[in-house]
A and B are shown apart, each in its own frame.
Chain A
Amino acid sequence: MESPRNGLALKCLLSGVAVGVAFFCVLAYGMTTTDQRSFCASCHLMQEAAVTHKMGTHADRACNECHAPHNLLAKLQFKAQAGLHDFLANQSGKDLSCPATSTIRAVVNENCKSCHAQTNVTGAAMDAKFYCTECHRNVAHMRQKPLSTRMVAYE
């Protein structure tokens, strides 16, 4: 039974699994890291969003808990697309679209509901307004606060 051939197969299999696990770990780590404020805020453009996020009640949640779909299949594609778009837009010196695009608003709104479903089981919270943040306005990055609390010039 101890033929060198079998030993090689086992080694191959084990190292394959190890590489696979390592690869998966790196991917998972990368996916998680690139969900976070510290990564998002590495572009100056995101400074206002990051600062108001950190000051807000959702500070300990990752950006992408609101800003990307929770479903993994949808999320992978969404992140790749959004990342590419933001990268190119930033290179060309464009400013953020204001208000956020309807795609992003829809994704964010779904995520409001997915965490806060229990609060709204009996209420008809989605009947009168399109988006939760139409009432919970300052969840949308404290837009009603004076600019000096949200922004600063940068070189």
Chain B
Amino acid sequence: MNKRIVNLATAAVALLGAALLSACDDVKTDLKAPVYKTVLKEDETRMSAFKAAFPKEYASYQKNNETQVMTDYKGSIAYHKNDNINPPPHGFKHAQPYLKNLWLGYPFSFEYNEARGHTYAIEDFVNIDRLNRYGADGKALMPATCWNCKTPKMMTWYKQYGDKLWSMDANEFRAADKISGMDETINCANCHNPTNMALRLYSEPLKDWLKRTNQDWNKISRNEKRSLVCAQCHSEYYFTHKDNGPAAKPVFPWDEGMSADDMYRYYMGHGAKDASGKTGPFVDFKHAASGVPIIKMQHPDYEMFVDGPHGAAGVACADCHMQYQRVAGKKISSHWMTSPLKDQEMRACRQCHADKTADFLRARVIYSQKKVFDQLIKAEALSVKAHEAVRLAGAYAGDSAADYDTLMKQAVEMVRKGQLFWDYVSAENSVGFHNPAKSLDTLATSMESSRIAVDLALQATNYGISSAISGDIEKIVPPILEHSRKLMQSPEHLQNHPWLKLLKPFPAAPQVWDGQIRLTSEATAK
């Protein structure tokens, strides 16, 4: 009995001693992410190859398949972003009804949906109506650059084709024997070096930008990398005009800065060269109603966020969108990249805002989002009015002002500017939260520009168009709810709306592509 007590006591003392000894190392403050040695090759592009070695992160990434939950302004149901009439999944109460009008003559007028999880990137890509699926030759009428932010396969293809890749037709890579829709969608290899899982860039346009600004990935802090891996894709971009470099190569227009104003200045150049070799303004498309040369903005999430309250303070995308969580005793980064508002507990926010309740934090987000969304809808309506004023003034047969041409040139420029500014906010995915002040300021400038455009068009026609443009814009130019490549083949559909009447119908043609499946054989086309 005594012996047992002595033994127990000795064991206890030994344990305590061992515990104290094992605990005498102080922590290191230079936090280093764990480094791994995998059996994977550097050019691995299949997501499934990573599953065995990284089951926790893999399982977390599969949560991106959730496609049911909406928040107040965002969520993961891929509804049509112009449809505020139908209930989800087709429409949503906070949709932007004028989008099809404002992009008339551009593929975005055919289909544009709410974004959802990375795991659906290719599935959504091969089902979108923006890529042509009706051409007998199977062509998408879009460059292969469209794949750039959809798959790590870009690395393979770029190695194979070099800069010729960009201007190949997007549909050349569409079939199931070219790419595995679910396994080679955006995945581990887009952000990680498969051999050691260190953060890495796959993106040519971001690597180009780092080169232009003399930055070296190896010297960039872990904190910045936690945003830059997202900036590979969540950025505004354009396709190089063939006069200025490899045709359709993607470029981030950041050389003047990252705000709407900086980009507006940037796009004064970088377009086609004229006969004398001078580079003109860049144009994404000519608006089908007003003829205004438009710049399309695309998800400038990084640019919006980087000088906002969080971005300027050094908070990274991953801080809020990839929160640390404990899984089976291990600490991992959540790989469910989605709306942080879906979490009832708002845990991602409370890693910093520990003293706030989830309800308070959510209310503060919506405080900004509601204001930005309401002003965005007004800015879009005013932009429609500006297009209509320029259209009417362009076709005006009455007595016009002596400086009509100058005034119209300025009016067109103001429509272009107004649209670039609201689109910068509209295309960005936080509804203002990533940068509330910049969002509202950008919308205010948008409205000012569109209003000036209306004034100039009125002046140019000696106010001859004033009665035609007065009153509720929703009555003068109603929102276009339905439009698609199929409907473009229907002359009756094009009689439904004053602006659709201005379009020439597509020739009747059957659908050639359904997802990754070709419905007609290539032989039939020839």
Q: Which residues of A contact B (CB under 8 A)?
A: 30, 33-34, 37-39, 41-42, 44-45, 47, 50-51, 54-55, 93-95, 98-100, 134, 137, 140, 143-155
CB proximity of B190 to chain A, nearest CB, Å:
18
Q: What are 20 A-B residue pairs whose CB atoms fall within 8 Å in the complex?
A: A42-B22, A51-B27, A51-B28, A98-B351, A100-B354, A137-B355, A140-B354, A143-B353, A143-B354, A146-B223, A147-B318, A148-B31, A148-B222, A149-B31, A149-B223, A152-B31, A152-B33, A152-B331, A153-B324, A155-B330
Partner of B27, one of A54, A93, A95, A140: A54
Q: What's the tally of chain B residues with a CB closer than 8 Å to chain A?
A: 41
Partner of B32, one of A55, A144, A152: A152
The 8 A-B pairs with the shortest beta carbon distances in the complex, nearest first, are A42-B23, A148-B223, A152-B31, A99-B354, A50-B27, A39-B23, A146-B314, A147-B319
The reply to whether A153 and B223 form a contact with Cβ atoms under 8 Å apart is no
* With A134-B355, A146-B313, A148-B222 as contacts: A153 and B29 at CB distance below 8 Å: no
Give the chain A neighbours of B94 by CB distance below 8 A. none
Q: How far does the alpha carbon of A51 sit from the alpha carbon of B318 in the complex, in Å? A: 20
Per DSSP, are chain B's interface residues mostly helix, strand or loop, or mixed? loop
The reply to whether B34 and A155 form a contact with Cβ atoms under 8 Å apart is yes
The reply to whether A41 and B355 form a contact with Cβ atoms under 8 Å apart is no
Q: How far does the alpha carbon of A47 sit from the alpha carbon of B32 in the complex, in Å? A: 12
The reply to whether B355 and A151 form a contact with Cβ atoms under 8 Å apart is no
Please encode chain B, from 377 to 408, with 1 for each CB lying within 8 Å of some chain A CB and 0 for all others: 00000000000000000000000000000000
Which of A41, A140, A147, A150 neighbours the largest number of chain B CB atoms within 10 Å of its CB? A147
Q: How far does the alpha carbon of A100 sit from the alpha carbon of B355 in the complex, in Å? A: 9
Q: How far does the alpha carbon of A149 sit from the alpha carbon of B222 in the complex, in Å? A: 9
**Smallest CB gap from A94: residue in B:** B326
The reply to whether A98 and B354 form a contact with Cβ atoms under 8 Å apart is yes
Q: How far does the alpha carbon of A48 sit from the alpha carbon of B19 in the complex, in Å? A: 20
The reply to whether B328 and A93 form a contact with Cβ atoms under 8 Å apart is yes
Partner of A39, one of B20, B226, B313, B331: B20
Partner of B350, one of A50, A54, A98, A146: A98
Q: Does B64 lie at the interface of the complex (its beta carbon under 8 Å from any beta carbon of A)?
A: no
